[in-house]
Amino acid sequence: MSALSHLECGRCGEKYDADVPQNLCSCGRPLLARYDLDHVAVTPAEIKGRAPDLWRYRELLPVREARHVVTLGEGMSPLVPIPRTGARLGLSRLLVKDEGLLPTGSFKARGAAVGVSRAHELGIERITMPTNGNAGAAWATYAARAGMRALVVAPARAPAFTRAEAVLAGARVHVVDGLIADAGRLAAQAIDRGWFNTATLKEPYRVEGKKTMGLEIVEQLGWRMPDVIVYPTGGGVGLIGIRKALDELLALGWISGPLPRLVAVQSTGCAPIVRAFEAGAATADPWPAGQARTHAFGINVAGTLGDFLVLDAIRDSGGTAVAVPDKAIVAAQAACAAADGMLMCPEGAATVAAAEHLRGTGWLTGDEEVVLLNTGAAANSADTLALPSPELLAPDAVLPD
């Protein structure tokens, strides 16, 4: 089933046995799954005939035996044109990869499906993580599907809906009066008690689930790459995964040509990657403690283990990093919903605001094929938004003109 070969440190290159549960490299950096691509015998034409879920790419995923796959039908989210928004921004070919239609309502279902499946295959029975919301809900749900136990810790300001999802899935859920780093310190106590650490980039297989976004985009475009991919970046796993997918497809010879320019989008209230990119730094210093503020909670990540991988992916592709204010995110969310019926989560709306900014500066000429990532359903984060309420009318009221 899988062409998985070994695990390799993304920084120092040290190799590890993929059939032993692993977290970080001895140097403290993330491990990445590597495949024996010479033994991938499937062709794009054969993939076309498979079920429309992410497991259609099973040779490029880490689960060795089909009986260990834990699935809720995740994958193959739609790639939708948004022409009126594109016309407003001066972008003739603007599309959205809409991850809000996946199980648990976000792209986190991809990482959870693959991560939980591989953990199940390796005999892991208890998992834990800090979460800003969607990841905890997804991993708790897939852990329940696998018959595993889950413990998640979330900041108090994280969306209540996603915490409720995790509770309903039977997870132990704890809330901390702080940020994601504070949640991580509490989750570390569970790790010390034998729970397996599935935090962002602290196990190798979440990236493998997220990379299927890149595989799907290419397949949906007829096995070719778009010109630009714009991605809301917190921990950066999705951007790292998309770049990894493109590299693997190029190595297989399934696609050719230059990489899409990758764009990392953050909020001006929490933008460590943007600051590092603009400074020409190889790594990103954490955002000052207690100063990370944005209602796009999925990108409210002050620091990430994969900073160097995100920065490399952006620079190698000729891309860029952009920070947009929350005011622009709110405006973009409303405008896109009204124009094209595409109601994005705040993180997804940030990519619209970023595209508008890049078109305004001339970085985008308007002729490019641009793919925006909407990483989740707006309903998952509805409680974090301050939106106007419609006027309340009496039963015998006269409808206003």
- Has this prediction a pTM greater than 0.95? yes
Give me the residue spans of the domains in the chain.
Answer: 73-385
Q: CATH 3.40.50.300: does it fit domain 73-385? A: no
DSSP string covering 144-169: HHHT-EEEEEEETTS-HHHHHHHHHT
Residue that has been written with the tokens 């009986």 in this structure: 67
According to the model, what pLDDT value does residue 386 have? Answer: 59
DSSP-assigned beta bridge partners for residue 231: 264
DSSP-assigned beta bridge partners for residue 376: 106
Three-state DSSP at 371 gives: strand
Give CA–CA dist 84/394, Å, rounded: 36
Residue that has been written with the tokens 């050719």 in this structure: 256
According to the model, what pLDDT value does residue 387 have? Answer: 67
The answer for 222, left when phi > 0, alpha when psi is -120 to 50, beta otherwise, is left
Q: How many H helices and E strands in the chain?
A: 13, 13
Helix, strand, coil percentages for the chain (3-state, nearest 5): 40, 15, 40
What angle do helix axes 108-121 and 212-220 make, rounded to 10 degrees?
Answer: 120
What ranges in 253-291 are assigned the alpha helix state H?
A: 272-279
Q: What's the longest Cα–Cα distance across the chain?
A: 73
Burial readout 19-54 (b: 16 or more C-beta within 10 A, e: otherwise): eeebbbbeeebbbbbbbeeeebebeeeebeeeeebb
According to the model, what pLDDT value does residue 248 have? Answer: 98
Q: Average pLDDT per run of 10 along the chain, which is 401 residues long?
A: 96 98 98 97 96 98 98 98 98 98 97 98 98 95 98 92 95 94 95 98 98 98 98 97 98 97 98 98 93 92 96 98 97 97 97 98 98 96 73 93 84
